[in-house]
Amino acid sequence: MLNVTPDSFSDGGLHVDPEAAVAHARDMLEDGAALVDVGGESTRPGADGIALDEELRRVIPVLERLRGAPVSIDTTKAEVARRALALGAELVNDVTALRGDPELAQVVAESGAYLCLMHMQGEPRTMQDAPAYDDVVDTVTAFLEERLAFAVAAGVDEERVCLDPGIGFGKTPDQNLELVRGLPRIASLGRPVLVGLSRKSTLGKVLGDPDARVGTDDASVGAAIAAFDRGASIFRVHDVRRHVEALTVAAAIEHGAIR
């Protein structure tokens, strides 16, 4: 992931300069990233939204410099997605699952782009205010099934959709762990499952810090392997090389072959 924001939870402010952002993106690709996910609006807990013009100001210079590289755009806005796709983005990563901007589904459908639909209870500003579920896995699975049907009805090719349970987006640490255990039920919907466990505060809490705001990279890799074992196949991470190496070995063991 490449957050060109001043306020993301782990790396906010590190890549606001376009040249620094591009250099980091190229490092991630060299380390084995399949896509660089460019985001200009923070979705950390408590974050406020930003105006369209400000989001475009942050992401367009980066996307222009990365033209030709495999990139995705993390946005909820149709116009940002439209501009990013025109500059070569291959996937739209929408944390609202097409609930935020009524024009976004059409933009994705007409472009033929890939799409990631994510579950989030509430919105970033309020999502961690006492999230509650009768059964978090049932709720998230049903939501993603409904949003997948919505996207397909809007003209998005089902084969181009992946699903994200939204770890940390309106969930308690225990609910996050329950979702990882329940990933086989989400994978049963028949679409690739993306998880974003990297550096999430839940990992720091598991390791004994009740006030943790971020988790370690080692804990992130461990969580990714657990998610892989339960059906996840796409991983949104910070430390690319460490995850690529661990997941390559896990995949070789799973499939019984060395690439």
Q: What is the pLDDT of residues 33-85, one digit of tens each?
A: 999 999 999 877 766 789 999 999 999 999 999 999 999 999 999 999 999 99
Q: Band of the pLDDT at 5, cuts 50, 70, 90?
A: confident
Q: Band of the pLDDT at 14, cuts 50, 70, 90?
A: low
Position 80 scores a pLDDT of 98
pLDDT of 122 higher than 90: no
Position 12 scores a pLDDT of 45
Position 127 scores a pLDDT of 61
The residues assigned a catalytic role are 200, 236
**d(C-alpha 228, C-alpha 251), whole Å:** 8
pLDDT of 125 higher than 50: yes
Provide the residue range defining the domain that includes 139.
Answer: 2-196
- The answer to the question of residue 244 being in a domain is no
- The answer to the question of residue 130 being in a domain is yes
Which domain CATH number covers 40? 3.20.20.20
52 vs 259: which has the higher pLDDT: 52
Please, what's the largest Cα pairwise distance for the chain?
50
- The answer to the question of residue 227 being in a domain is no
- The answer to the question of residue 192 being in a domain is yes
How many domains does the structure of the chain reveal? 1
Position 13 scores a pLDDT of 47
**d(C-alpha 25, C-alpha 70), whole Å:** 10
- The answer to the question of residue 257 being in a domain is no
Q: Any idea what DSSP says for residue 191?
A: S
Q: Are 143 and 119 in contact (CB under 8 A)?
A: yes
- In a 10 Å sphere around its CB, with 0-12 CB exposed, 13-18 middle and 19+ buried, how is residue 33 labelled? buried
What pTM, to 2 d.p., does this model score? Answer: 0.91
- The answer to the question of residue 205 being in a domain is no
Pairing mode, if any, of strands 194-195 and 234-235? parallel
- The answer to the question of residue 224 being in a domain is no
Residue burial 106-136, b: 16+ Cβ < 10 Å; e: rest: bbbbebebbbbbbbbbebbeebbeebebeeb
- The answer to the question of residue 165 being in a domain is yes
Position 257 scores a pLDDT of 67
Position 15 scores a pLDDT of 55
